[in-house]
């Protein structure tokens, strides 16, 4: 299911959301200028490699400092390919502007980074011995989706669903779309634990962790009751 648009226009210019998208795209363009060896080095030094901290001797031999925790932050701005960054930035574009609208610019940035770092911590906890670099903004974006679920459960998501090569476009309430997405992540994450040798390059537990963290910290940062500011029908209008 590919989301195309939601039914809620933002009221204020989503400066931080566009800034995050721009930074991610600029860094990815830089990545495309690197050779495969240089790109691998970039991912190992600035991506999250859990074994870097749980196996310091291995990390030292590999040329990685076990005392450098910056990758828990920097890996949020690295992506592993065109589909990876396009998918992440598309979800951020659709869901992020409305969350920024409700939190305000500064709190939205704090929320985004907390969700991303928290998602990394969950991934680290589940995969402490992994020597594979984890990169991508999807943990932070999962937190955005958790916040969107709480703030706008009855907004409509125009969704593209290809069935037997026939494109279908349907409106799905956000509560159903996001919960379906979350349970797909949960199922895939549990399957990856049950079948550890099944190959997958997706950090499902980073998605799960980011989503849950978004649900938990949104009430701490939301400083206004938006339903008192604007009528309900503004948020739930179809188009």
Phi and psi based region of residue 78 (left: phi greater than 0; alpha: psi -120 to 50; beta: remaining): beta
User: Shortest CA distance to 157 belongs to which of 148, 166, 144?
Assistant: 148
For residue 169, list its beta bridge partners. Answer: 160
Rounded to 10 deg, the angle between the 138-151 and 105-126 helix axes is: 120
For the chain, the residue count is 239
Phi and psi based region of residue 172 (left: phi greater than 0; alpha: psi -120 to 50; beta: remaining): beta
What pTM does this model have?
A: 0.89
pLDDT for 29: 97
Tokens 């992540």 label which residue? 185
CB 94 within 8 A of CB 158: no
pLDDT in tens, 133-185: 999 999 999 999 999 999 999 999 999 888 777 888 889 999 999 999 999 99
Q: How many CB atoms lie within 10 A of CB 208?
A: 22
Range of the domain at 171: 2-235
Mean pLDDT of the region 97-102: 95
CA distances for 236 relative to 6, 43, 172, 220, 232, angstroms: 10, 42, 12, 25, 7
Total tally of structural domains belonging to the chain:
1
pLDDT for 168: 81
| CATH code of the domain covering residue 220 | 1.20.1540.10
């Amino acid at each position: 299911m590919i989301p195309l648009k939601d039914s809620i226009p933002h009221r204020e210019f989503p400066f931080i959301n566009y800034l995050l998208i721009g930074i991610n795209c600029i860094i990815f363009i830089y990545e495309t200028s690197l050779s495969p060896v240089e790109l691998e080095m970039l991912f190992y030094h600035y991506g999250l490699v859990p074994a870097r901290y749980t196996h310091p001797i291995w990390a030292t031999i590999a040329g990685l400092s076990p005392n450098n925790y910056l990758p828990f932050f920097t890996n949020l701005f690295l992506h592993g390919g065109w589909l990876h960054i396009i998918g992440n930035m598309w979800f951020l574009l659709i869901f992020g502007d409305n969350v920024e609208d409700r939190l305000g610019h500064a709190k939205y940035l704090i929320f985004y980074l907390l969700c991303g770092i928290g998602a990394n911590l969950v991934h680290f906890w589940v995969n402490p011995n992994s020597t594979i670099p984890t990169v991508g903004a999807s943990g932070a974006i999962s937190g955005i989706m958790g916040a969107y679920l709480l703030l706008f459960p009855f907004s409509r998501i125009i969704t593209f669903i290809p069935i037997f090569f026939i494109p279908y476009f349907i409106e799905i309430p956000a509560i159903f779309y996001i919960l379906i997405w979350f349970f797909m992540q949960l199922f895939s994450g549990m399957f990856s634990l049950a079948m550890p040798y099944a190959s997958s390059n997706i950090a499902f537990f980073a998605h799960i962790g980011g989503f849950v963290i978004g649900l938990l910290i949104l009430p701490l940062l939301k400083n206004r009751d938006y339903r008192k500011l604007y009528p309900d029908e503004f948020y739930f209008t179809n188009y």
